[in-house]
Structure 1
């Protein structure tokens, strides 16, 4: 029976998911990957460990599927975007990979923002450079690690490293190529962009770009031995996880804004022409002539996970002991909190924000009568409010009538309704637990000839989709709460740098618990 393999490698977990060609998940296997934090703002991972963990996950998924590896018709990887994975001239890892949560390049960005580089960058590349962009990280390595810079043979994204390990072929796809160095109008690499960032010496290191569904190689004998895959299985170029999530959730279409609530607050919509603005990235879509407009910040459900880890450890342990979910154990507290008025507000800026790197998280409006349920409600509302900042920005430049919500919180109907009420538009969720992996699998199926194109989802989307309509009264109340949320953030903007200055940056332990 034909099947497809989608690999989804996030910031803490790498997954292998095998799907039947009708879209049914047959097996999922996960492995955690260590995050190293050698000092403040430096967040890294070992590239060989990532490949070993992914290979183990693939082998386990094949076993769990109860189907031979030869049934797999095609493979595609997706992974966290931005950051940098370096190879030397012998095509070996050149130090640890730098993850997209890393912010070591803050001074580089500050310098560019104070010069003409920022304006020239948005005009040429369609986006303002940011701390985890390949351009900023490579400039930091050039300035701070010149010997390492000289040894760069290739620079890749996370998923490109995994496809290299599978096939031995260096390259990327159109969506990932546009993170720093493409001309927004032509959608092709630009030598002028390299010169703009002072990186013209790396012209040789630009990875060749292919369509996300184009077969770029086949599983090598070495990779087959490590993973249990069949030697020669086709591997396509793959795609950025933002695009993969939207594709897998049925939200990769014009007139729709895809809202992915994960570690990052990801909000995106398609257009048939480039339109640039400081509030979003204008990047390549899967096909030529399509642009993916992304408004994002590292400020979404990682905040909720942090709260659960730090303040609900007892319930987590109880749930693990009883075999129940911590979300189910906390549901009565959260439901009760949503049923009563509350002044509690939370800014979900534990790991980053749309307000700059110095912004931090905080509760406002707490009183002695509030309990943990009120705080959990505030965290969830704060996450939705931060998504609204980005959705409203995209609404100024593009037309869309509905949102497609993906991410772990989309499994909770109460949270889905809250997003509809906060955004003020219908919010649809599909029964897709592994949206990014399924988006990758659709590209693999297209390349293998199983589907006509990556958007030919074989599932009956209307049957598996559920739509929440905004409630007028609740939307009006959320508008009021949202305005206060924004006003507090505006008032805090000059204070956040002063708060950050209270604790000078210090070295931290080299190995830390992975962030969610």
Structure 2
């Protein structure tokens, strides 16, 4: 029976998912990829380890499917967007890949904000540069690693590296090409953008950009040996994970805002014209003449995962040993906390925020009589409040009447209802747990001629629960949200001082 392979490489886990052509997952295999943090604000990964882990996941998924590899009609990858993966002129990795949680380029971005580069960038490229943008990371490399910078032969994203490993072809797709260096109106690469960031020396290193559903290569003999795929299987260009998640969740459509609660708080909607604003990135859609406006920050369910890892380690170990789910164990505590009043609020800024790199996470209103459930409730509400910051920004520029929610936290019905109440709009949960991989598979299927286009098949998988907002709870959440914002505004001048304490301590220790 025909099937499709979607690869989804996140910030800590790379996955291979085989789907029936109606969107039903047949097999899923995962591998963890080591996150390297050589010093504060540096977040990297070994590119060879990433490929090895992905190849192992593909081989396992094929075995788990119980089907022959030649059932797989096409392959496509998606992966964390932004960050940077570079090859030298001989097409070998030039150091580690830098992932999108990296913030080493903060000083460069701060300078661009002061000297008008940011204002020119938003007019030209449709987005304000940020710390993990290719523009900022390459400028950092130019200033701090000039020898490495001089040796750059090819600039890639994470999923483009996986495509290269699968096919031996260098390139990207339209969605990924627009992360820094395209003209927002023409949707094509712009040498003016490179000059704006002082990166004109890299003009010959930008990868050719294809449509996300365009077949750009075929599985090589080496890749077939490592993965178990059939040599010659078509590979589509794939797409940025933000767009892939929206597509796979059924939220890549007019009048809908896709809300993806993953490591990043992703909130996006489509338009047929470019609309530029500092509060969102205006980037290329899958097809020419379509723009995907996304308002994002690294402040979503990674905070929940952090809480589990750091504060529920014992329970997690027991659940792993028993073969049960830590999330199911905590669900009853969370549900109970939702049923009682609580003043506890949480800023979910462990890894970044809409308020800049210096913001940090904190609980407010916490008393000795509160328990773990109250804290988990506050973490989840803080995640949803941060999504609302972005959704409210998009509401100022676009018309949409419903949200499509995806991400691990959406498996809890109480959390879905919470999102509906906080966003004050109907929320539909995607019918698949693997929205990003399904989005990639849709592009593969369209490239192979199974679908007319990626969007036409995105609703073949039935949607999950639809939640309507409760007006009383929405009004209560609006008060909590306003206080959440007020505290953040109060903290703005304090966050840099708090961050400075670590720098002062490091300086004292060095004396």
Q: State yes or no: 1:491 paired with 2:490.
A: yes
Structure 1 match to 2:108: 108
Q: Report the 3-state secondary structure (helix = DSSP H, G, I; strand = E; otherwise coil) of the residue aligned with 1:397.
A: coil
Q: State yes or no: 1:159 paired with 2:163.
A: no
Q: Report the 3-state secondary structure (helix = DSSP H, G, I; strand = E; otherwise coil) of the residue aligned with 1:56.
A: helix
Deviations 1:386-405 (A, max 9, x none): 00000000000000000000
Structure 2 match to 1:259: 259
Residue pair 1:40, 1:506 contacting (<8 A) in 2 also? no
Structure 2 match to 1:338: 338
Counterparts of 1:451 and 1:270 in 2: how far apart (Å)? 21
Deviations 1:418-463 (A, max 9, x none): 00000000000122111100000000000000011001227545x4
Give the 5 Å matches for 1:440-455. Answer: 440-455=440-455
Q: State yes or no: 1:46 paired with 2:40.
A: no
Q: Report the 3-state secondary structure (helix = DSSP H, G, I; strand = E; otherwise coil) of the residue aligned with 1:501.
A: helix
Structure 2 match to 1:468: 467
Residue pair 1:87, 1:154 contacting (<8 A) in 2 also? yes
The size of the alignment, in residue pairs, is 506
Counterparts of 1:458 and 1:264 in 2: how far apart (Å)? 22
Structure 2 match to 1:170: 170
Give the 5 Å matches for 1:294-333. Answer: 294-333=294-333
Structure 1 match to 2:287: 287
Give the 5 Å matches for 1:434-445. Answer: 434-445=434-445
Counterparts of 1:139 and 1:181 in 2: how far apart (Å)? 13
How far apart are residue 378 of structure 1 and its match?
0.4
Root mean square deviation, CA, Å = 1.1
Structure 2 match to 1:20: 20
Residue pair 1:39, 1:506 contacting (<8 A) in 2 also? no
Counterparts of 2:169 and 2:299 in 1: how far apart (Å)? 34
Residue pair 1:79, 1:158 contacting (<8 A) in 2 also? yes
How far apart are residue 368 of structure 1 and its match?
2.0
**Bigger RCO of structures 1 and 2 (CA < 8 A, at least 6 apart):** 1
Counterparts of 1:313 and 1:161 in 2: how far apart (Å)? 34
Residue pair 2:22, 2:460 contacting (<8 A) in 1 also? no
Unaligned runs of 5+ in 1: 508-516
Structure 2 match to 1:477: 476
Deviations 1:184-234 (A, max 9, x none): 000000010000001011001000000000001111111111111101000
Structure 2 match to 1:511: none
Q: Report the 3-state secondary structure (helix = DSSP H, G, I; strand = E; otherwise coil) of the residue aligned with 1:502.
A: helix
How far apart are residue 505 of structure 1 and its match?
8.0
Residue pair 2:249, 2:458 contacting (<8 A) in 1 also? no
Residue pair 1:174, 1:211 contacting (<8 A) in 2 also? yes
Structure 1 match to 2:124: 124
Counterparts of 1:26 and 1:428 in 2: how far apart (Å)? 23
Give the 5 Å matches for 1:335-414. Answer: 335-414=335-414
| Greater Cα offset, 306-315 or 352-361 | 306-315
How far apart are residue 503 of structure 1 and its match?
1.0
Residue pair 2:85, 2:157 contacting (<8 A) in 1 also? yes
How far apart are residue 324 of structure 1 and its match?
1.4
| Greater Cα offset, 119-128 or 13-22 | 13-22
Counterparts of 1:320 and 1:235 in 2: how far apart (Å)? 36
Unaligned runs of 5+ in 2: 507-511
Counterparts of 2:504 and 2:131 in 1: how far apart (Å)? 17
How far apart are residue 321 of structure 1 and its match?
2.3
Residue pair 1:348, 1:382 contacting (<8 A) in 2 also? yes
How far apart are residue 24 of structure 1 and its match?
1.2
Structure 2 match to 1:90: 90
Structure 1 match to 2:509: none
Q: Which runs of 4+ in 1 moved over 3 A?
A: 458-461
Counterparts of 2:142 and 2:430 in 1: how far apart (Å)? 44
Counterparts of 1:128 and 1:464 in 2: how far apart (Å)? 34
Deviations 1:314-356 (A, max 9, x none): 2112212222111111122111111111110000000000011
